[in-house]
C-alpha cells in the first residue's frame, strides 16, 4: 500500500522525468514566437524543460533536499535507458513497408545521443545547483519568501543549463556556432519569463500540498 505522500511524490517524479525526456526527443524542431513584442527563435523542447525546475522546487519545498536529489538521479537513469531504447530502434533495419523508413527515423533521432549526453551533463549540474541554492535560501529566510528562493535558485541554474547544453550541441555539430549567442540570449530570457510566470503556480502547488499533508510553513514531509 503506497502512502499518500509517497504517491504524490511518485506523480511529481513521473511529471519530472516525462518533461526531461520528451524535451530531449523533440529538441531538433525550432519555431518562432512573439512574446510581449519580442521575437524568439526557440527549440520546442524549451517549452516543457522549465517544468523540471518547477517540480524540483516543489519537491524540495515539500519533501526535502534528499528526495529532490533522488528525483534528479532517477531522471538520469531514465534518460540513459531512453537513449538505449532509441539506439536499439535506430540500429534495427526498417522493413520495405514500414511507415517510417531508416532515413526518416535517423533524421529525427540521429542527434538524440548527442542531445541526451549534452542535456544530462547540463541537467545534472543545473539541477544540483538549483537544489543547493534553494535550500540555502530556505535556511537563511527561515522558510519564508517562497517566491525569492524559487526564482533565485531557478534563474542562475537555468543560465548554466542553457549555456552548457548549447555549447555541447555546437561542439558536437548539431547546431552551428553562429547560432550560439542568439539561441543562448533568447533561450535564457525565455526561461526567465517562464520562471517568473511559474511563481504563482508553485505557490498554488505548495499551498495545496501543505494543506493536504497538514504542514506548517517551512515544514517538510518526513
pLDDT tens profile 140-167: 887 788 888 878 887 888 888 888 878 8
CB 28 within 8 A of CB 43: yes
CA 142, chain centre distance (Å) = 27
pLDDT number for residue 72: 86
Q: How far apart are CA 220 and CA 218, in angstroms?
A: 7
pLDDT number for residue 10: 93
- pLDDT by residue for the chain (222 residues), tens only, comes to 445 688 899 999 999 999 988 887 787 788 888 777 777 778 888 888 888 888 988 998 899 888 988 998 898 888 888 888 888 888 888 898 999 888 888 877 766 666 666 666 777 777 778 888 888 888 888 778 888 887 888 788 888 888 887 887 788 777 788 888 888 888 888 888 888 888 899 889 988 998 888 887 767 776
pLDDT number for residue 12: 94
pLDDT number for residue 3: 58
pLDDT number for residue 133: 86
Q: How large is the angle between the packed helices 112-140 and 50-63, nearest 10 degrees?
A: 40
pTM, full prediction: 0.80
Q: How large is the angle between the packed helices 146-171 and 112-140, nearest 10 degrees?
A: 160
Residues 6 or more apart in contact with residue 94 via CB below 8 angstroms: 100, 101, 102, 105
Alpha helices by DSSP H, the chain? 4-25, 45-48, 50-63, 65-91, 102-109, 112-140, 146-171, 180-197, 199-213
CB 117 within 8 A of CB 97: no
For cell 522549465, name the residue.
Answer: 50
pLDDT number for residue 1: 40
Closest CA to 45 of 136, 132, 116, 93: 116
Amino acid at each position: 500500500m503506497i502512502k499518500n505522500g509517497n504517491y504524490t511524490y511518485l506523480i511529481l517524479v513521473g511529471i519530472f522525468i516525462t518533461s526531461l525526456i520528451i524535451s530531449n526527443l523533440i529538441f531538433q524542431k525550432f519555431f518562432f514566437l512573439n512574446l510581449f513584442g519580442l521575437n524568439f527563435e526557440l527549440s520546442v523542447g524549451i517549452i516543457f524543460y522549465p517544468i523540471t525546475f518547477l517540480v524540483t522546487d516543489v519537491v524540495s519545498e515539500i519533501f526535502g533536499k534528499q528526495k529532490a536529489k533522488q528525483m534528479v538521479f532517477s531522471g538520469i537513469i531514465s534518460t540513459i535507458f531512453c537513449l538505449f531504447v532509441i539506439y536499439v530502434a535506430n540500429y534495427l533495419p526498417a522493413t520495405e513497408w514500414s511507415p517510417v523508413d531508416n532515413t526518416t527515423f535517423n533524421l529525427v533521432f540521429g542527434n538524440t545521443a548527442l542531445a541526451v549526453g549534452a542535456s544530462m551533463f547540463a541537467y545534472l549540474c543545473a539541477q544540483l545547483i538549483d537544489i543547493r541554492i534553494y535550500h540555502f535560501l530556505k535556511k537563511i529566510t527561515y522558510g519564508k519568501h517562497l517566491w525569492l528562493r524559487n526564482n533565485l535558485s531557478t534563474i542562475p541554474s537555468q543560465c548554466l543549463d542553457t549555456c552548457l547544453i548549447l555549447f555541447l550541441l555546437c561542439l558536437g555539430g548539431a547546431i552551428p556556432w553562429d547560432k550560439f549567442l542568439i539561441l543562448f540570449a533568447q533561450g535564457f530570457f525565455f526561461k526567465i519569463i517562464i520562471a517568473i510566470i511559474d511563481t504563482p503556480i508553485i505557490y498554488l502547488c505548495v499551498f495545496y500540498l501543505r494543506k493536504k499533508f497538514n504542514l506548517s510553513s517551512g515544514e517538510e514531509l518526513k
